């Protein structure tokens, strides 16, 4: 009985991780989070874009961003 429960818990954790990664992947590919900022007419637009890229970790691959988000 204990092995059955252990196996079910491990499988549940793996399914939860896979589902959360798929949802994160779909939300990450849904659009540009900086689209509104890119079309603005602010004076220091490039500095703001660069700061947001660093803040949102858009300069790293999606897989690594997922683990940053997960942490």
Digit-coded pLDDT (tens) for 35-70: 888 888 878 888 888 998 999 888 999 889 999 988
pTM for the whole structure: 0.71
Cβ atoms of 68 and 60 within 8 Å: the answer is: yes
Structural tokens at position 12: 């549940």
Taking only the tens place, the pLDDT of each residue in 6-23 is 999 999 999 999 999 999
Q: CA-CA distance, 35 to 62, in Å (whole number)?
A: 18
Q: CA-CA distance, 37 to 32, in Å (whole number)?
A: 10
The contacts of residue 24 (CB under 8 Å, 6+ apart) are 62, 66, 69
């Amino acid at each position: 009985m204990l092995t059955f429960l252990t196996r079910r818990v491990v499988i549940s954790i793996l399914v939860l991780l896979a589902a959360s990664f798929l949802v994160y992947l779909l939300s990450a590919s849904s659009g540009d989070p900086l689209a509104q900022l890119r079309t603005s007419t602010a004076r220091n637009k490039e500095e703001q874009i660069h700061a947001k890229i660093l803040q949102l970790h858009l300069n790293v691959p999606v897989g690594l961003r997922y683990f940053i988000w997960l942490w």
